[in-house]
Structure 1
Amino acid sequence: MLNNLFNLPKQPSELKFNIYLPSALHDVAATVSSYVQEAEAAGREVVILCIGTDRSTGDALGPLTGSKLKTLHHHPYIYGTLDDPVHATNLPAMIKFIEVNFANPFVIAVDACLGRLESVGCVSLGRGPVKPGAAVNKELPPVGDAYITGIVNVGGFMEHLVLQSTRLNLVIKMADIIAHGLAFGLGGRKS
């Protein structure tokens, strides 16, 4: 509302970056950095919650990202890896764990999603919660103060099959961009 009072351009609520563009890593890192600075200024711990399962190629984006991020950065609060995924079955328990163990966390949720054909290969970042499982009609609680979603395939028809047949190459490239962007946005890479 303030932007309109001063005729300033309205900031988009969601940013979308194509992972095949050279600027994608920088753009993701800069956006994450702004989220982290905002959280730290408010005295909030940053928690990274990577959602998904390694039992489905398309849905493995979250755990792949979490595992890659753990190798890149010493950030102590990364949940959801290939070794210990956060998925539909244990997501409510993980949300409760975070609520009990952090006074006022700033949760950045990472998840795969389905979208339009022209958006496949894009990473979306925004403020507010992500709604895990929405693409496959699962009723899961929304989670996060900010989100990073990777559009891994086309939605609209037979979503479970689409997620199962998503190209692993795309998911790995996306996980690399997101993990490196998070690492840089959190304050650099592990030495």
Structure 2
Amino acid sequence: MLGQVNRVEDKFSCHYEAPQCLMDLQKVIHGNLLELNSSCSRTIVYLCIGTDRATGDCLGPLVGSRLQNYLPNAEVYGTLQQPVHAVNLEQVMSDLTRKHADPLVIAIDACLGNVDRIGFVNVRKGSLKPGSAMNKSLPAVGDFHISGVVNVGGYFEHMVLQNTRLFIVYKMADIITKSLYLAQYRFHRQREQLML
């Protein structure tokens, strides 16, 4: 066990441009890793949801592709080359649970929100309900999830996702990827120190 775990907030949010966003985000993610995997027995799996066919929906695949560079041995599902989306999500989840016994799944996806929330990265305990902005009925996934508000929701969601600025999505993907890398690095360092 990785020692005493402080209770992690059930939800956390910060704007990607905030100076402390990277460090605060990695602390919250690290806290979730400690709380949900205190015995270190669960394989950490990144489930990066979305498609590169719509700029606003490519946050997950961008994070997945970048994670493969930062953490080459990590279990990553959903990249720009092999996206996880509405059509294949159930099959990917079936494959994932067949390959990993009791994995710790971190779901990453884009979302739509109010205009004053664009650019915010959210971390929430519990499952993510992908496709809800598009009124899709997909299974909830993840032990905790990270979502990025990429644009305004409430009307013409398909058009909004198609016309989202890549810059915002790219910058959010950068912050999310780096925070996941730092959190997993800290988690594994602590585990190694306990094994000494």
Name the aligned partner's letter for residue 14 of structure 1. Answer: K
- Local SS of the residue matching 2:47: strand
Equivalences for 1:55-66 in 2 at 5 Å? 55-66=53-64
Does structure 2 retain, via aligned residues, the 8 Å contact 1:39–1:46?
A: no
Specify the alignment match of 1:6 in structure 2: none
Specify the alignment match of 1:134 in structure 2: 132
Unaligned runs of 5+ in 1: 1-9
- What do the CA deviations read for 1:7-37 (whole angstroms, capped 9, x no partner)? xxx9642110100101111111111111222
* Aligned equivalents of 1:143, 1:38: Cα separation in 2: 18
Name the aligned partner's letter for residue 43 of structure 2. Answer: E
Specify the alignment match of 1:26 in structure 2: 23
Which segments of structure 1 move beyond 6 Å, counting only runs of 4 or more? none
Computed over aligned residues only, the root mean square deviation of the Cα atoms, in angstroms, reads 1.4
- What do the CA deviations read for 1:62-100 (whole angstroms, capped 9, x no partner)? 000111111112342111101111011110001111111
Does structure 2 retain, via aligned residues, the 8 Å contact 1:123–1:174?
A: yes
* Aligned equivalents of 1:169, 1:74: Cα separation in 2: 25
Q: Percent of aligned positions with the same letter in both sequences?
A: 45
Unaligned runs of 5+ in 2: 1-6, 187-196
Name the aligned partner's letter for residue 60 of structure 2. Answer: G
Specify the alignment match of 1:119 in structure 2: 117
Specify the alignment match of 1:7 in structure 2: none
Q: How many residues align?
A: 179
Equivalences for 1:1-191 in 2 at 5 Å? 12-42=9-39, 43-187=41-185
Change (3 A) 1:76 1:11: closer
- Structure 2 length as normaliser, TM-score? 0.88
Does structure 2 retain, via aligned residues, the 8 Å contact 1:122–1:150?
A: yes
* Aligned equivalents of 1:145, 1:113: Cα separation in 2: 18
Change (3 A) 1:146 1:90: same
- What do the CA deviations read for 1:137-167 (whole angstroms, capped 9, x no partner)? 1111110000000000010011110011000
- What do the CA deviations read for 1:95-123 (whole angstroms, capped 9, x no partner)? 11111111111100000000111110000
Name the aligned partner's letter for residue 32 of structure 1. Answer: I
Cα offset for 1:168? 0.3
- Structure 1 length as normaliser, TM-score? 0.90
* Aligned equivalents of 1:12, 1:117: Cα separation in 2: 24
Does structure 1 retain, via aligned residues, the 8 Å contact 2:9–2:28?
A: no
* Aligned equivalents of 1:45, 1:89: Cα separation in 2: 25
Change (3 A) 1:46 1:39: farther
